[in-house]
Amino acid sequence: MAILASTVSALSTFYQASADKILSLIQKTHPSIQRLLVVVHNPGAANLALLLGNIENYAPGTLTVFKADCQSWAEFSPDSVKLEKIFVPKA
């Protein structure tokens, strides 16, 4: 799958955002978007992983993949996602 530059957006609202703020921004994603990559810093990333997947000890550089079982991004929540994969960088 190719990623077109026109489909990439950088939002300053993610910078230093809390897990609740990141989740709220995800829930506002346009319904035409089927896949979403969110890149954020800690502590927001770690707190979101804890909120969505009960993942503790979230190391910097970790990549977490969740699969959502919902009809729209507005329904994206801890109750609608499942942890698919987690990639932890080697020390």
Which has the closest alpha carbon to 34: 78, 3, 77? Answer: 3
- And the tokens for 20? 């609740």
Lowest mean pLDDT segment, chosen from 24-28, 35-39, 51-55 = 35-39
Cβ neighbors of 36 (< 8 A, separation 6 or more) are 26, 29, 73
Q: Which of 60, 77, 61 is nearest to 69 (CA)?
A: 77
Q: Is the pLDDT of residue 1 over 60?
A: no
Residue 4 has pLDDT above 70, yes or no: no
pLDDT at position 32 is 87
Model confidence over 75-90: pLDDT tens digits?
999 999 999 999 999 8
Q: What is the pLDDT of residue 71?
A: 92
Rounded to whole angstroms, how far apart are CA atoms 34 and 3?
13
Q: Which DSSP symbol is given to 66?
A: E
Q: Please report, for the chain, the start and end positions of each structural domain, with discontinuous segments joined by +.
A: 14-87
